Each structure stands twice: as C-alpha cells, then as structure tokens.
Chains A and B, each alone.
Chain A
Amino acid sequence: MGLAYSFGNARALVNRYAAARVALAAAQRRLEMLAVLDPSAPELQVGTTHADDVVVDGTPVAHESWSVAAYDDPANGTAAGPTDLKLVTVTVSWGASAPDQQVQLSRFFPAR
C-alpha cells in the first residue's frame, strides 16, 4: 500500500511539473512581449495591474497577471526621482491558484 501511495504521489508530481513548465514558459513569454514595448505603453504604466488568460493552441490553460511598480535605485538616492526603473512582476497561476500552483517572475524595465 505504501509503495502504491508513493507511486501515485510521484505521478502527481510529474503532472504538476508539466503544468509548472507551461506556466514558467508563459511567464517568460509575457516578459519578452513586454520587453519590446515602448516604456510609455499602457501595459507598462507604473501602478497598474493587468490580467489575461494563457492560451495554448486555442485553449486557456492558465491565468496570468502582471503588475508594474516603481523602483528607486539606491545607488543615486532620489536624485533622478523615485522611479529609476520599473519592476514588472508576472504571476501565472493554474488549477485552484494555490501557492504551489503559481509561478512568479520579475524583471526590471527602463523607466523611460
């Protein structure tokens, strides 16, 4: 019984990793798509949060959201204003969106 239980758990982990890989690829995809936008694009406005479905082959497989926050580089203090960079955080969740069903990536973007 113990062996069967461990096999079942291992199989569930493999399935979870499949979903996590798809989510990680989706998060990286979103960051790359944002990277080619102009810094003044609506998707990159500081203080905003955006949401969308992750669609693969015409089927929604997960949900993604990204938020844009101002980031003050401590190296120059507040000399150039409080927004030296933008910190974009992309979160992709699947299933019941439990903490172990989410992937989160962050990247700095130029402020202007």
Chain B
Amino acid sequence: MVLVVATLVVGGLAAFYLGSQSTWLDGSTQALTQRDATLLVTTIVDSVRAAGRAVVSDDPDPEHQMLTLYADAAGTTACRCFYWHDSLVYMGANGPAPGDQPVVVSKVSRFRLATQDSTLVRLDLVEIPCPDGWRLRLSGAAALYNSR
C-alpha cells in the first residue's frame, strides 16, 4: 500500500516537473523568437531610413525576397542588402557574399517586402516559426529619408 502511494506521488511529481519544464522551454523559446523578430525588423528599418533608394526582388520566390539599398536616390552602387538564404536572413554590403552573417539566429520561414512610391519600404511579413508550432508574424515599414 505504501509502495503504491509512493509510486503515485513520485509519478505525479515527475509529470509536474516534465510539464513545467516543457512550459518553461516553450516560453523561453517564444521570448527569444520575439526578441529576434524585433531585432531583425529594427535592423532593417534603421538601414532603410539611412538609404535613398530601395529595390525589392524575389530571391528565390515572392515569399522570400531580397532588399537592396542604395545610399542616395540616384545611386547605382548598393550600400547594403538583406536577403533570405537557407531559412536565415542575411545582411550583406552590396550583394550576397560568402562571408555574410545572418542578422539573427532564428529561422525565418517567410520574408516578404515591398516598395511604395520610391519613398517607403514595407516589411509586409516577417514570419518566424517556433519549435512548438507557434509562428510569430510581424510587419513594419520604414521611410527612405534620403530619397529626396
């Protein structure tokens, strides 16, 4: 009888421990994902604000795009680019290069952008999935303050 009760108590404690660990890990992962998403959007917004011209291109499809920024409105040499490759968003100087580093370590499942009237870059969708199936979807925009 004592053995049965002890087994039940230990089993309950173990189940609670495992459940709480799962909740803890899921919550921590989500929090890290949220921070990465904000950092990614902020990094892109800061770069766009300093740029004069932006070009968005499919890379390789409309759900994964590349943003190329130029220093001024008439500029022909790119000064910065953001592109999706192998589930990560990378930042490069004037085009994708082997030494480029990802902006954040979180994997990005969709990276959709658009330009508007040569004065605005819209981040229509930054989607970052979590291991538990939850997905953070964020959007933003930044003005090209050097376009005039």
List residues of A whose CB falls within 8 A of some B CB: 3-4, 7-8, 10-11, 14-15, 17-18, 21-22, 25-26, 28-30, 32-33, 35-36, 54, 56-57, 61
Contact = CB atoms under 8 A, between A and B. Distances in A.
A29 B23 contact: no
B62 interface: no
Contacts of B116: 36
B139 A56 contact: yes
Given A25-B140, A29-B141, A57 B30 contact: no
B87 interface: no
B137 A57 contact: yes
A74 to B, nearest CB: 27
Contacts of B37: 21
A25 B41 contact: yes
Contacts of B30: 14-15, 18
B20 A4 contact: yes
Given A21-B34, A36-B119, A57-B137, A7 B23 contact: yes
A72 B20 CA distance: 55
Contacts of B140: 25-26, 28-29, 32
B31 interface: yes
A32 B139 CA distance: 12
Nearest to A27: B140
B138 A22 contact: yes
